[in-house]
Structure 1
Amino acid sequence: MSNVSSNSTESSLQGRGRAIGVPKRCWCGEGIISLISKSDSNPYRRYYRCQFAVANKLRNDEHTFKWVDEAFVNEIDTLNAKNADLEKQLKEIRTERFEFEKMVYEKMEKEIFEKVEDGLSEAKASHKKIMIVLVFFCMIMIGLTKLLG
């Protein structure tokens, strides 16, 4: 383990690009290990380091180095951003679903009203026929009572 003294801006930068979140591999292809700092400026602070750089005791190189707490904050920020995106997508899906359901209900309502109107039209036609038959029957009855009476 090496004595590491670095401020947080230097620690979050890599020579070959910025490592976001918990690093898995160094740019050189080596794995990452977790170590504990023994420096006076950061005693017992955990950090991630390239296995190659640790094995060769390299210092101030371009291999991956990142404080664990900063990596976790990056991970949390990334998860918060993903969560916000998912909430936005969910809101859009709910809006689309609401619009779809509204369209379906309006179509169903229209079909139901058409069927009710058709039923009422048939009932009115049937009612008219019955009324005509009854009026005709009443006229016959009145005529028969005058003829017989």
Structure 2
Amino acid sequence: MSNISGASSGSSSTRRERVVGVPTVCWCGAQIVGKISKLDSNPYRRYFHCAYVVSNKLMDDNHVFKWVDEALLNEVERLSSEAKRLEQMMRESEIVFDGVEYEKVVFDKVLMKVKK
């Protein structure tokens, strides 16, 4: 769950900071709260917004704003990438493990010959 990085889709016309995934803290340090849109263009659509903005009823601000569905989609994509990376690491470690097993078998054979 990262925070700030480029531009996002919001309902205001000002440039907003882009948040990748589910936001936790705004750039101003305020917590993020969940709200429900009352706009005709997005009725009942859930979004995350800076608690400072919500409590002060600011308009056209540059604080964190993100639709919940977009945030969750980002999180799923991030977790999917992480799962693929971990699978690849496991495959690589299996190859190393197989190599170690092979070396152990060869070592045991050499040791048996030395004992004879």
TM-score range, shorter chain: 0.7 to 0.9
- Structure 1: which amino acid aligns with 2:74? N
State the distance in 2 between where 1:48 and 1:72 align.
Answer: 11
TM-score of the two chains, using structure 1 as the length reference: 0.66
Question: 2:93 matched to which residue of 1?
Answer: 93
Report which structure shows greater RCO (CA 8 Å, sep ≥6). 2
Question: 1:10 matched to which residue of 2?
Answer: 9
State the distance in 2 between where 1:20 and 1:40 align.
Answer: 26
Question: 2:73 matched to which residue of 1?
Answer: 73
**Greater helix percent: which structure?**
1
TM-score of the two chains, using structure 2 as the length reference: 0.84
- Number of aligned residue pairs: give it: 105
Check if 1:19 corresponds to 2:19. Answer: yes
TM-superposition CA deviations, 1:11-55 (whole Å, max 9, x none): 3xx73x421111101000001110100111111100001011111
Unaligned runs of 5+ in 1: 1-8, 119-149
Unaligned runs of 5+ in 2: 1-7
Question: 2:58 matched to which residue of 1?
Answer: 58
State the distance in 1 between where 2:62 and 2:53 align.
Answer: 9
* Moved beyond 3 Å, runs of 4+: none
- Structure 1: which amino acid aligns with 2:110? K
State the distance in 2 between where 1:55 and 1:23 align.
Answer: 18
1:113, CA displacement in angstroms? Answer: 3.2
